């Protein structure tokens, strides 16, 4: 608080001081700072490096790669294993294998994710540098473009339209400067800035500092110079800018949900195993240690690695398809997305706007309309848009460059007010022959509301009551054809400066009609998204009629609401109307963000595709923010996904990759967790009725580890169309149900195997039942044989069940797994079965078994697979889903 108050005091003090005092106090020379002065300022006031978001730092990505709910669970279990197997054991029986295996898995898993994210970061950083990460600064007697991170307090900086303000700056020069603070305050109102010194009485809040621009603001119009007052986190809105767009993603919420399901199963099973073992064996210490190993056995050790491998594989596939996934968690959110909000321009249309007509109020071609529109666009210093660009190309298209150059010389600029989302037009004051001309160009409704007169064939008449009916008759026909129409008006005035009060009583001159044809590729992309059950909603600032016309051609439907109509709806009506509406037109940035929030509150996973500053708040708010290569810097930094090609077909492929990654993650989590749960139930049963443990802790871990290694090929598995055709929820909601349903089935066959081993195989090999054996070596042989037999049965069933439960269909016939999965399954079963015949198997307490046991094993596995197949059909009919 003390530091913040000092910074506030610095900003307040210099907003009330003359520019000469500012230059004197910070030793700002005409030539700018030199190297030694830069170092001194950075030492005293800090660095501007924190203008980068926390999510863009290497440290943040490393924490995200290695710290998540799954790794926390496994770290706890590794610690428990270390305590029970090392600290509490004698020197002879110490075994650190379990802890080392878990830690190695965590390191490999985190590294896979970190490497993939850093690859994406390098690409996104290159894109951001291409857009704008520089500031124009006076250094060593020249103006230089430097990285904004290198700015220091006292630097002289130049700003122009389109810039994102890189620090808190006291203005020393301002020409028609208008800024937007929507990115940091949420307010879309434009603020005009100047260099006038404030009096102490005027210092109420940051919004009252008309001679200071704050970091994170956007320059909408005009030019300026100034001196940096504060940098990085020490700026007025620094902490908001740094951390404001870090949100808890749907992936993290789903991961927490799954983690808690596993934790609840542990909390129930561990006490049961502990009590059952203690009561039956009488050794409470051993029972406690074994109960803890059960917790280790319940958790899939490779869970983080398989999840990260699935996400990384999807992310890598998307990079080949001209898409950069900055946050690989977004792969899952792309797959879960069921509503995509897009802007119209450039996404649904070709993004190449042409001026088709320049006409008077009755639809006749008018050069005067074109000339006044050209002057208005020429002198507009705000952020250029497609319409201004189309107007400024007309002289070249008409081969009249000299004529329009002379026109500009005759009508030099005097003043301007740039476009904003309240007025929806641009005002420019230019010099005239006798009187000056105030020209406005913009929204038909807004411009016409400011007009008192109309001009036709040189005659100016006052507007009568039904005049605008004729206006709409001309305009509506063009709007129905999908054209963008602007109105042009003017007035004469003697003043050389403008005020807001001057924007009244204009003379309506005519209209400009632009055409931006729909993309052919957008039609097929929308159909593909619909087939994937992703609804597309259009959120645009354009007029309602234009948006409807374009969307009708694309087959999107024509249910539409304007921003004004939204404001009239009650809080109860809003969720229903927004759900039913496809097209939202004439929206402000605040309204776009509000629509995204309401859709999320309605239970949807929402993606937002945008590229301008007016899309920033919506991209931050959406579950998955999507931007494009040529988007403004702040939007690119906030997005989760960047498209190198502004095409919905690319995004449709991203949805598919996300759903395939999600499906393969779900296969591993559900099948492995249910198999482990079945093993634990079998252990509970065995600990009650058997005089020894059915499997050693290290054998249980080895079993899970061998199975998990096989599962590393799952990211490359094929996914059935019925699985990826629908968006899926990433949560633990159905995990517990799946575990409870399929886990006990495997326990049935485990118990049958226990009986066969305990009463037939082991007595035959050891020469009697366990209770009849007197020698310790014979009892150890009995136990080792039993444990080896169950190890094999568990391994075979656990591996083969993956093929049955990975699909609703008949495996291998109706749904073929990938070649990698088939190859690894055959190779894995063969190698792991052969393990018991090797010296390495003896290290884990495993030994060879007779041939007749393998005949029994084959029979029990076939019966198990048949029962699981019938159970799967029942489960799908009852719950209408599997994975």
Predicted confidence (pLDDT) per residue in 498-547, tens digit:
888 888 999 999 999 988 777 777 788 888 888 888 999 999 877 787 78
Per DSSP, helices labelled H in 211-366 are: 238-243, 250-281, 284-298, 303-320, 329-336
pLDDT mean over 848-857? 93
Q: What's the rounded Cα separation, in Å, for the pair 546 and 197? A: 46
pLDDT value at position 326? 76
The most distant pair of C-alpha atoms in the chain lies apart, rounded to whole Å, by 123
pLDDT band of residue 133 (cuts 50, 70, 90) is low
The answer, yes or no, to whether residue 405 has pLDDT greater than 70, is yes
Q: Which of 314-323, 476-485, 753-762 has the highest mean pLDDT?
A: 753-762
Helix (H) or strand (E) holding 97: helix 97-131
State how far the Cα of 249 lies from the Cα of 242, in Å rounded to an integer: 17
Q: Does residue 851 carry a pLDDT above 50? A: yes
The yes-or-no verdict on residue 202 having pLDDT over 50 is: no
| Packed helices 284-298 and 69-82: angle between N→C axes, nearest 10 degrees | 150
User: Could you count the other beta carbons within 10 Å of the beta carbon of residue 702?
Assistant: 24
C-beta atoms surrounding 363 within 10 Å: 17
pLDDT at 98: 66
Distance CA 856, CA 793 (A): 10
Location of structure tokens 């320049």: 358
Residue 781 to residues 95, 171, 694, 764, 772, Cα–Cα distance (Å): 21, 87, 13, 12, 13
How many residues are recorded in the chain?
Answer: 883
- Tell me what percent of the residues of the chain surpass a pLDDT of 70: 83
Domain ranges of the chain: 258-317+655-879, 338-349+519-622, 356-515
Judged against a pLDDT cut of 70, whether residue 67 lies above it is answered with yes
Specify the higher pLDDT residue, 570 or 70: 570
Rg, C-alpha atoms of the chain: 35
**To which H or E segment does residue 839 belong?**
helix 839-843
pLDDT at 132: 45
What's residue 319's pLDDT? 76
State mean pLDDT over 260-282.
76
Among 497, 383, 504, residue whose Cα is nearest residue 429:
497
- Quickly state the pLDDT bin for 347 (edges 50, 70, 90): low
Whether 343 is catalytic: yes
The backbone torsions φ and ψ at residue 568, rounded to the nearest 5 degrees and listed phi first, read: -85, -15
Best-predicted range by mean pLDDT (215-219, 350-354, 694-698, 759-763)? 759-763
How far is 67 from 549, CA to CA, in rounded Å? 49
Q: How far apart are CA 538 and CA 808, in angstroms?
A: 36
First CA to last CA across the chain, in angstroms?
A: 51
In the CATH scheme, what is the code of domain 338-349+519-622? 3.40.50.1000
- With beta carbons less than 8 A apart as the criterion, state whether 341 and 617 touch: no
What φ, ψ does residue 564 adopt, rounded to 5°?
Answer: -65, -40
Please give the structure tokens belonging to residue 39: 């170092």
356-515: which CATH topology? Calcium-transporting ATPase, cytoplasmic domain N (3.40.1110)
Q: With cut-offs at 50, 70 and 90, classify the pLDDT of residue 130.
A: very low
H/E run at residue 182:
helix 182-185
Most confident of 311-315, 342-346, 864-868: 864-868
For residues 818 and 834, give the distance between their C-alpha atoms in angstroms, rounded to a whole number.
25
Bigger pLDDT: 767 vs 93: 767
pTM: 0.68
Question: If you average pLDDT over each of 107-121, 172-186, 309-323, 601-615, which comes out highest?
Answer: 601-615
CA distance 572 to 22: 53
pLDDT at 4: 41
pLDDT band at 51, cuts 50/70/90? very low
- From the list 661, 622, 659, the residue with the least C-alpha distance to 639 is 622
pLDDT-derived band at 852 (thresholds 50, 70, 90) equals very high
The Cα 196–Cα 212 span in angstroms is 10
Number of helices and strands (H, E) in the chain? 34, 23
Tell me if residue 643 falls in helix, strand or coil.
strand
pLDDT tens digits for 648-705? 778 888 888 888 888 888 888 888 888 888 888 887 788 778 888 788 767 777 777 7
List the structure tokens of 777: 């070596």
What is the distance between the alpha carbons of residues 173 and 138, in angstroms, rounded to a whole number? Answer: 14
Contacts 24+ apart (CB under 8 A), 574-578: 574/598, 575/601, 575/602, 578/602
User: Average model confidence (pLDDT) for the chain?
Assistant: 81
Q: Which of 799, 685, 662 is nearest to 744 (CA)?
A: 685
Residues in a beta bridge with 605: none
User: Torsions phi, psi of 177, nearest 5?
Assistant: -85, 120
pLDDT > 70? residue 200: no
Pick the range with the lowest mean pLDDT from 241-250, 409-418, 504-513: 241-250
**206 pLDDT above the threshold of 80:** no
> 24-38, 259-273, 283-297 — which is least confidently predicted?
283-297
- Residue 457 is predicted with a pLDDT of 86
- Confidence (pLDDT) at 787: 92
pLDDT of residue 855: 95
Closest-CA residue to 665 (of 741, 735, 740): 735
Mean pLDDT computed over 615-644: 78
What's the per-residue H, E or C state across 500-526? HHHCCCEEEEEEEEEECCECHHHHHHH
Cα–Cα distance list, 182 to 115, 240, 264, 815 (Å): 35, 12, 44, 51
CA-based torsion, 17, 20, 25, 30: positive or negative: positive
Residue 243: its pLDDT value, please?
44
Mean pLDDT of 634-661: 80
Sequence-distant (6+) residues with CB within 8 A of 465 are none
d(CA 666, CA 883): 6
In this prediction, residue 598 carries a pLDDT of 94
CA 859 remoteness from chain centre: 49
- The DSSP bridge pattern shows strands 459-462 and 583-585 to be unpaired
CA distances from 719 to 255, 308, 599, 663, 714 (A): 22, 18, 29, 7, 10
Answer yes or no: CATH 1.20.1110.10 is held by domain 258-317+655-879: yes
pLDDT at 248 over 80: no
Phi then psi for 570, rounded to 5 degrees?
-80, 165
Q: Write down the catalytic residue from 343, 360, 615, 750.
A: 343
Check: CB of residue 437 under 8 Å from CB of residue 492: yes
Q: Is 159 helix (H, G, I), strand (E, B) or coil?
A: strand
pLDDT of residue 92: 57
CA distance 232 to 47: 6
Higher pLDDT, 765 or 723: 765
- Tens digits of per-residue pLDDT, 148-161? 888 999 999 999 87
Contacts of 477 (CB under 8 A, 6+ apart): none
């Amino acid at each position: 608080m003390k530091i913040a108050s000092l910074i506030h005091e610095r900003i307040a003090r210099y907003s009330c001081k003359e520019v000469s005092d500012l230059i004197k106090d910070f030793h700002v020379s005409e030539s700018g700072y030199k190297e030694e002065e830069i170092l001194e300022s950075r030492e005293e006031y800090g660095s501007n490096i924190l203008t980068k978001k926390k999510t863009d730092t290497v440290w943040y990505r490393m924490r995200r790669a290695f710290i998540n709910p799954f790794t926390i669970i496994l770290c706890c279990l590794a610690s428990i294993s270390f305590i029970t197997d090392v600290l509490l054991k004698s020197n002879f029986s110490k075994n650190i294998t379990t802890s080392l295996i878990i830690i190695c898995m965590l390191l490999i898993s985190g590294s896979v994710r970190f490497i993939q994210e850093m690859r994406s970061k390098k690409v996104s950083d290159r894109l951001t540098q291409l857009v704008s990460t520089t500031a124009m600064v006076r250094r060593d007697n020249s103006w230089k473009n430097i990285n904004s991170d290198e700015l220091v307090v006292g630097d002289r900086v130049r700003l122009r339209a389109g810039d994102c303000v890189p620090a808190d700056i006291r203005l020393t020069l301002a020409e028609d400067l208008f800024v937007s603070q929507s990115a940091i305050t949420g307010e879309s109102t434009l603020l005009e800035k100047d260099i006038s010194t404030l009096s102490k009485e005027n210092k109420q809040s940051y919004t009252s500092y008309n001679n200071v621009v704050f970091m994170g603001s956007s320059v909408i119009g005009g030019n300026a110079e100034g001196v940096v007052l504060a940098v990085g986190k020490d700026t007025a809105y620094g902490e908001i800018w740094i951390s404001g767009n870090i949100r808890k993603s749907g992936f993290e919420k789903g991961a927490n949900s799954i983690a808690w399901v596993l934790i609840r199963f542990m909390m129930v099973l561990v006490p049961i195993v502990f009590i059952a073992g203690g009561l039956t064996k009488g050794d409470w210490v051993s029972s406690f240690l074994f109960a803890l190993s059960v917790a280790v056995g319940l958790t899939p050790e490779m869970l983080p690695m398989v999840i990260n491998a699935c996400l990384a594989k999807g992310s890598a596939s998307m990079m080949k398809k001209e898409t950069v996934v900055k946050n690989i968690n977004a792969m899952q959110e792309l797959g879960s997305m069921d509503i995509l909000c897009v802007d119209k321009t450039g996404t649904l249309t070709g993004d190449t706007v042409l001026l088709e007509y320049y006409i008077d109020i009755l639809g006749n071609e008018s050069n005067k309309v074109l000339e006044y529109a050209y002057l208005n666009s020429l002198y507009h210093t705000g952020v250029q848009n497609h319409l201004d660009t189309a107007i400024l190309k007309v002289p070249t298209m008409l081969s009249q460059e000299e004529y329009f150059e002379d026109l500009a010389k005759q009508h030099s600029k005097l003043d301007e007010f740039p476009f904003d989302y309240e007025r929806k037009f641009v005002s420019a004051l230019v010099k005239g022959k006798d009187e000056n001309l105030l020209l406005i160009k913009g929204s038909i409704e807004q411009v016409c509301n400011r007009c008192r007169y109309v001009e036709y064939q040189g005659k100016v008449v006052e507007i009568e009551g039904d005049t605008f009916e004729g206006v709409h008759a001309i305009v509506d026909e063009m709007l129905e054809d999908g054209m963008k129409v602007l109105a042009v008006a003017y007035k004469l005035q003697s003043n050389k400066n403008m005020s807001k009060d001057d924007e009244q009583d204009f003379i309506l001159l005519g209209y400009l009609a632009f055409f931006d044809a729909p993309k052919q590729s957008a039609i097929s992309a929308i159909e593909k998204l619909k087939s994937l059950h992703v609804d597309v909603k259009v959120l645009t600032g354009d007029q309602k009629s234009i948006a409807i016309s374009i969307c009708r051609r694309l087959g999107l439907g024509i249910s539409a609401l304007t921003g004004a109509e939204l404001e009239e709806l009650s809080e109860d009506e809003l969720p229903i109307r927004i759900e039913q509406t496809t097209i939202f037109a004439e929206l402000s940035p605040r309204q776009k963000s509000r629509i995204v929030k309401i859709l999320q509150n309605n239970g949807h996973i929402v993606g937002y595709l945008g590229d301008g500053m007016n899309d920033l708040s919506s991209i931050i708010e959406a579950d998955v923010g999507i931007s494009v290569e040529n988007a403004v810097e702040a939007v690119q930094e906030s997005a989760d996904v960047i498209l190198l090609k502004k095409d919905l077909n690319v995004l449709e492929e991203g949805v598919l990759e996300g759903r395939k990654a999600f499906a393969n993650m779900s296969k591993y989590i559900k099948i492995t967790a249910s198999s482990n749960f079945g093993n634990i139930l079998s252990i509970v049963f065995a600990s009650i009725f058997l005089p020894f443990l059915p499997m050693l802790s290290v054998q249980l871990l080895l079993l899970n580890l061998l199975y998990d290694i096989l599962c590393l090929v799952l990211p490359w598995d094929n996914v059935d169309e019925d699985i990826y055709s629908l968006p899926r929820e990433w949560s633990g909601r159905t995990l517990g149900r799946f575990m409870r349903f399929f886990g006990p089935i495997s326990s049935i066959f485990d118990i049958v195997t226990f009986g066969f081993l305990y009463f037939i195989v082991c007595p035959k090999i050891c020469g009697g039942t366990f209770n009849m054996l007197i020698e310790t070596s014979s009892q150890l042989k009995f136990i080792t044989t039993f444990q080896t037999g169950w190890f094999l049965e568990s391994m075979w069933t656990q591996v083969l069940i993956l093929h049955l439960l990975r699909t609703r269909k008949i495996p291998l016939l109706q749904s073929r797994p990938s070649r990698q999965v088939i190859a690894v399954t055959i190779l894995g079963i063969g190698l792991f079965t052969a393990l018991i015949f090797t010296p390495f198997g003896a290290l884990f307490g495993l030994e060879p078994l007779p041939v007749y046991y393998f005949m029994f094993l084959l029979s029990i596995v076939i019966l198990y697979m048949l029962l699981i197949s019938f159970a799967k059909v029942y489960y799908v009919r009852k719950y209408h889903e599997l994975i």
